[in-house]
Amino acid sequence: MAVRNSVRQLRMRRGAGLEDGMMGVALLAGAANVIMQLGRPGVGYGVMESRVESGRIDKHPIKRARTTFTYLAVASMGTDEQKKAFRRAVNGAHAQVYSTDDSPLSYNAFDKDLQLWVAACLYKGGVDVYRTFIGEMDDETADLHYAQGMSLGTTLQVPPEMWPADRAAFDRYWQESLHQIHIDDAIREYLYPIAASRIRGVRLPARMQQASDNVNLLITTGFLPQRFRDEMRLPWDPQRQRRFDRLMKVIGTVNNAMPRFVRQFPFNVLLRDLDWRIKTGRPLV
């Protein structure tokens, strides 16, 4: 049965859903997911040339992170009212994101194909986080997770019929989409500080900066599929893979020992913050 035709039945079953991947440790995969999304040139240049100053990740990383993580929380765990409010706010920002005569290619933030790609990256990133910190899913759990993953696109403009019908269809879509990935020198230069989790305006002593870069690049590159590592020219080998696996195992052990409400921070808090912003009339994005 196609996944989109069985969402209601799947949600009635016991088992892990999309919200179970909404853990604080998922933030470790955030930079990798940004790289995956911006690997599509239309998304990459749309973000790099964005006229929405307050939403630029290179200039306002904390605010941009809050917006992105709130979107994930809303799409995964939010009410219909929260989704409608956040959709309106994001649409207002997206209305300002489109190519100009000086852009190297044509793009528009309302392009449903690009939005589908972003949603697909978020879904795939969620699967990787789940696999890393919780474990492999059985088929029933994977189907539930995939069915709920549709909301990552439909919370914006992606119509349900555009979401691949089932996990096999998604895998085909993903493999075909990899042919459209290209990170040129300009986007690579833009993304490298994000890959290294550098904060704009913060300068560390050289040795501390190098140590920080090494750890952050290990984590970011570890969460990237090989195609994106190659496009970013980030080295990877069995030794780095073992270091990444050991680090994630330690972090996962600590994470699993925490109470659920602690594991879900900051996503649970961001939903409360969203309600407060809606109530008080403050900007949502």
- To the question of pTM greater than 0.75 for the whole model, the response is yes
Q: Is residue 79 in a domain? A: yes
The DSSP line for 212-249 is: HHHHHHHHHHHHS-HHHHHHHT----HHHHHHHHHHHH
Q: Is residue 281 in a domain? A: no
The pLDDT assigned to 51 comes to 81
Give yes or no for a contact between 74 and 271, defined as CB atoms under 8 angstroms apart: yes
Q: Is residue 222 in a domain? A: yes
Q: Is residue 125 in a domain? A: yes
Q: How many CB atoms lie within 10 A of CB 124?
A: 17
Query: What b/e string do you get for 8-37 counting C-beta neighbours within 10 Å, with b at 16 or more?
Result: eebeeeeebbbbbbbbbbbebbbbbbbbbb
Q: Is residue 283 in a domain? A: no
Q: Is residue 209 in a domain? A: yes
What is the domain extent for residue 254?
3-274
The pLDDT assigned to 19 comes to 65
Q: Is residue 143 in a domain? A: yes
Return averaged pLDDT per consecutive 10 residues of the chain, 285 residues in all: 41 49 87 96 93 67 80 87 90 89 91 96 94 91 92 91 96 97 96 89 83 95 98 98 97 91 88 91 85
- In the chain, the number of structural domains is 1
